[in-house]
Amino acid sequence: MTKKSIEQGRGAQIQRNCHSLLRHAEKEIYENITQCLCLAKMQIAGVEWEKKNEAIARIGEANLLLGKAVQDLRTLAKQFHNLKQ
């Protein structure tokens, strides 16, 4: 095997890894992060302010969903950062 063919093989592997990570990120964003954000939005939209205990519970649930979305975004950002190195 020549040095050039080895480098081409490595380049192809890096490209496959990039495409795989992008597909994973797209799926993660669509399935997890978007779902968490939409559910949080629905929780907040459904708050009945005159029912204080229920409002507190809904806001708490929305807060947990937003936290999960943030954590998922951080995980994806770390994966992209590690890919660059």
Q: What is the mean pLDDT of residues 48-60?
A: 93
Nearest residue to 37 via CA among 75, 64, 56: 64
Cut 0.85: pTM above it: no
> CA-based diameter of the chain, in Å?
75
Average pLDDT taken over every residue of the chain: 83
Number of Cβ within 10 Å of residue 64's Cβ equals 14
Record the tokens describing residue 56, joined without a space.
């507190």
Q: How far apart are CA 1 and CA 84, in angstroms?
A: 27
pLDDT at 27: 82
Q: Tell me how many domains the chain contains.
A: 1
Q: Which tops the pLDDT comparison, 67 or 18?
A: 67
pLDDT digits (tens, 9 = 90+) for 29-47: 778 888 889 999 999 999 9
Which domain covers residue 31, as residue numbers?
3-84
Q: Position 18: which residue type?
A: C
